[in-house]
Chains A and B, each alone.
Chain A
Amino acid sequence: AQKVTQAQTEISVVEKEDVTLDCVYETRDTTYYLFWYKQPPSGELVFLIRRNSFDEQNEISGRYSWNFQKSTSSFNFTITASQVVDSAVYFCALSEAVNEKLTFGTGTRLTIIP
């Protein structure tokens, strides 16, 4: 069975600090997909990134970066120079294929203090 663990329940940092959100996953599949979603107070889950299991290249998108390490089954998310607008709940998720069901972690509530 698939499982996603986000051990950090809540994180608070001062604006402009860097912050890393941890994600550890479990799966017996050799091919799988990892995702990060952001959930602002409005409730909608906003897609941030998708990563294939066979592509361990790290990715950077503006202030966001992702570190995928199959050896430790981790897919961590770093926000550089955090801003108040980054405050939200962030979810890591896992699926067998892009169009298959998502298994979510319990989320990390990130608060950026002005």
Chain B
Amino acid sequence: DAGVTQSPTHLIKTRGQQVTLRCSPKSGHDTVSWYQQALGQGPQFIFQYYEEEERQRGNFPDRFSGHQFPNYSSELNVNALLLGDSALYLCASSHVVTGTRGTEAFFGQGTRLTVV
């Protein structure tokens, strides 16, 4: 059973460019969350997708957007990249049981984004 998979593993972009990161959730999971982890810091919640809609959003600008597909996979898009966007981007998947009850989040290995 494959866990959460993310691609690419590493990425280097130039300031001002746009980037798309991809995530496939663990089998049986229907909810995908994205986190940004700066060096030496804890992960910060970006947003969560469930049933192809953004369900929750953290304190991130509109440059950060996402999408969830019918097969539950997800993309994170960042426009107009800034040097400060350099970080490890983690995807987590979970399963909603009823309402807000569900499984704990399982994380992928992340995408290391470097903006130069």
**What separation, in Å, do the CA atoms of A46 and B41 have in the docked complex?**
16
Q: Which residue of chain A is the closest to B111 with respect to CB atoms?
A: A43
Residue interface mask B95-116, A partner, CB < 8 A = 1: 1110011111111111010000
Given the known inter-chain contacts A44-B107, A100-B56, please indicate yes or no for A106 contacting B102, CB distance below 8 A. Answer: no
Which of B31, B40, B108 lies in contact with A44, CB distance below 8 A?
B108
Please determine whether A104 and B42 come into contact, CB atoms closer than 8 angstroms: yes
A contact face: mostly helix, strand, loop, or mixed: loop
Please determine whether B31 and A91 come into contact, CB atoms closer than 8 angstroms: no
* B16: Cβ under 8 A from any A Cβ: no
* B33: Cβ under 8 A from any A Cβ: yes
Residues from chain B with Cβ under 8 Å of A45 in the complex: 43, 90, 92, 107
* A71: Cβ under 8 A from any B Cβ: no
Please determine whether A102 and B45 come into contact, CB atoms closer than 8 angstroms: yes
**What separation, in Å, do the CA atoms of A7 and B44 have in the docked complex?**
18
Please determine whether B42 and A100 come into contact, CB atoms closer than 8 angstroms: no
Which of B35, B44, B101, B109 lies in contact with A99, CB distance below 8 A?
B101
Please determine whether B101 and A91 come into contact, CB atoms closer than 8 angstroms: no
**What separation, in Å, do the CA atoms of A42 and B96 have in the docked complex?**
28
Residues from chain A with Cβ under 8 Å of B40 in the complex: 106
Residues from chain B with Cβ under 8 Å of A50 in the complex: 104
**What separation, in Å, do the CA atoms of A35 and B94 have in the docked complex?**
14
Interface residues of A (CB under 8 A from B): 4, 35, 37, 42-47, 50, 91, 93, 96-107
Interface residues of B (CB under 8 A from A): 31, 33, 35, 40-45, 48, 56, 58, 88, 90, 92, 94-97, 100-110, 112
List 24 A-B residue pairs with CB atoms under 8 Å apart, sorted by A's residue number: A4-B42, A37-B107, A42-B109, A43-B90, A43-B109, A43-B110, A43-B112, A44-B108, A44-B110, A47-B105, A47-B107, A96-B100, A97-B102, A98-B103, A99-B96, A99-B101, A99-B102, A100-B56, A101-B33, A101-B48, A102-B33, A104-B42, A104-B43, A106-B41
The 3 A-B pairs at the shortest CB distance, nearest first, are namely A99-B102, A104-B42, A97-B100
